[in-house]
Amino acid sequence: MAISTYKVFLMHKASSSDSYEKLIDIKDYPDLGGAPEMLDTTTLSDKATTSIPGIQQMDALAFTANYTSADYEKVQALEGKEGDYAVWFGGTENLGVVTPTGSDGKFEFKGTPSVYVNGAGVNEVVGMTITFAASTPVTKASA
């Protein structure tokens, strides 16, 4: 069964803890992987090109969020420091409070974040972008 993007969370593992906590609320998330580069194996005897998969291409992991001074400062305090991050799918809701559970999947990676405020025009919500330079591949955590 398909799932909705409702209850998708950007998570961070505090250095003093083994558990994840929600970093900030996000508006979108990037592809959590990428296609491998194709290495050409074609010879002069081949009728068509042939290839084998090479190294997986990973772009910067960019998330957008609504700007608040508190959220900006929370992410800015992590800039330049490698940490454990994850995107969790699934959560519970009780009396209007949403709690991340990752019940529909947890995708983890190590990375170094940076944050900046996005440009905007008349009558728009001020946003910010959190970009991670991933130092490990994004992997699905076992259940």
pLDDT per residue over 66-87, tens digit each? 999 999 999 999 999 999 999 9
Question: 42-47, long-range: CB within 8 Å, 24+ apart, which pairs?
Answer: none
Q: Which residue carries 């995708």 as its tokens?
A: 107
Q: Report pLDDT digits (tens) over 7-19.
A: 999 999 987 778 9
Tokens of 50: 């042939």
Contact 3, 89 (CB under 8 A): yes
Determine the pLDDT at residue 143. Answer: 64
**CA dist., res. 7 & res. 99, Å (int):** 8
Residues shown for the chain? 143
pLDDT along the chain (143 residues), means of 10: 93 87 97 93 96 91 97 96 96 94 96 96 96 95 79
Q: What angle do CA 138, 21, 56 make, to 5 degrees?
A: 5
Q: Give the CA distances from residue 25 to residues 57, 92, 136, in Å, rounded to whole numbers and listed in that order.
A: 27, 15, 23
Q: What angle do CA 29, 128, 26 make, to 5 degrees?
A: 35
Q: Which residue carries 């490990």 as its tokens?
A: 136
In three state form, how does the secondary structure of 59-88 look?
A: CCEEEEEECCHHHHHHHHCCCCCCEEEEEE
Determine the pLDDT at residue 133. Answer: 95
